Amino acid sequence: MKNALIGLILIVYPFVIYFGLAHVAPTILAIFLASLFIIRHFNQTKNNKKQAKIPHINLLLINVLSLLTYTSFTNSELALKFYPVVVNLSFLIIFSYSLYKPPSVVEIIARMKDDLDADGIAYTQSITIIWCLFFVINGFIASWTIFHPNPQYWLIYNGLISYILMGLLMAAEFAYRRLKRNKVNNSKQIK
């Protein structure tokens, strides 16, 4: 329960920043968020020993903590707003590297539920490439919103629209995978 609450706070990060900056200094917010990120990371590490591990996921922790440490020393509102960019860049690096040094991140996740043949592995690599493209585009848009004169653009995109786009990509991939699996199962039954 505690880990879920911390995860929720980290997901609604844009709202915490947007509304928090009206009441406290960026340094305080950075320290608060860094503490939550560390607690969540170590709780997940302790609780998920049986789940598949994503190689180099600690890069995300290092990058986010570096940003938040920088923010705490500089007291910079601008630096706090780079959080979504840093997260996208971190995931882009992790997913891209998994294509260079397989298994891909999507394959690791897929193997938690399914056995994969050669076609399944190729499919997961394609989906990993699509996620890499998503992280590039999402990161560029998140960067653009930082410098937009209206700070609500940053809040709306990073706190809502990017999550909707992520959900749509996941749902589209899930629907396509189900459709493909049903097609294969139907062709096996006909034979």
How does pLDDT run across 98-144, given as a tens digit for each residue? 999 999 999 998 888 888 889 989 999 999 999 999 999 999 999 99
> pLDDT higher for 173 or 185?
173
pLDDT at 9: 76
pLDDT at 54: 85
Give the list of residues 6+ apart from residue 151 with CB closer than 8 angstroms, or none: 18
Tell me the Ramachandran region of residue 76: left when phi exceeds 0, alpha when psi lies from -120 to 50, beta otherwise. beta
pLDDT band of residue 180 (cuts 50, 70, 90) is confident
pLDDT at 191: 60
Of 141, 143, 145, 165, which Cα lies nearest the Cα of 153? Answer: 145
Half-sphere exposure of 117 (CA within 13 A, CB side): 2
Give pLDDT tens digits for 18-44.
999 999 999 999 999 999 888 888 887
CA geometry: angle 56, 71, 140, nearest 5 deg: 60
pLDDT at 7: 72
Q: Does position 3 have pLDDT exceeding 70, yes or no?
A: no
Peptide bond before residue 151 is cis, with ω within 30 degrees of 0: no
Q: Percentage of the chain with pLDDT > 70? A: 92
Of 134, 107, 127, which Cα lies nearest the Cα of 118? Answer: 107
Residues 46-60 have a mean pLDDT of: 76
- Kindly report whether the global pTM for this prediction surpasses the value 0.85: yes
Which pair of structure tokens corresponds to residue 131? 């996620």
Half-sphere exposure of 22 (CA within 13 A, CB side): 6
pLDDT at 31: 95
pLDDT at 52: 63
The SS3 assignment for 150 reads: coil
Which pair of structure tokens corresponds to residue 31? 């320290």
pLDDT at 49: 57
Of 26, 150, 4, which Cα lies nearest the Cα of 83? Answer: 26
The SS3 assignment for 54 reads: coil
Q: For the chain, first and last CA: distance in Å?
A: 49
> pLDDT higher for 114 or 145?
145
Of 113, 127, 114, which Cα lies nearest the Cα of 170? Answer: 127
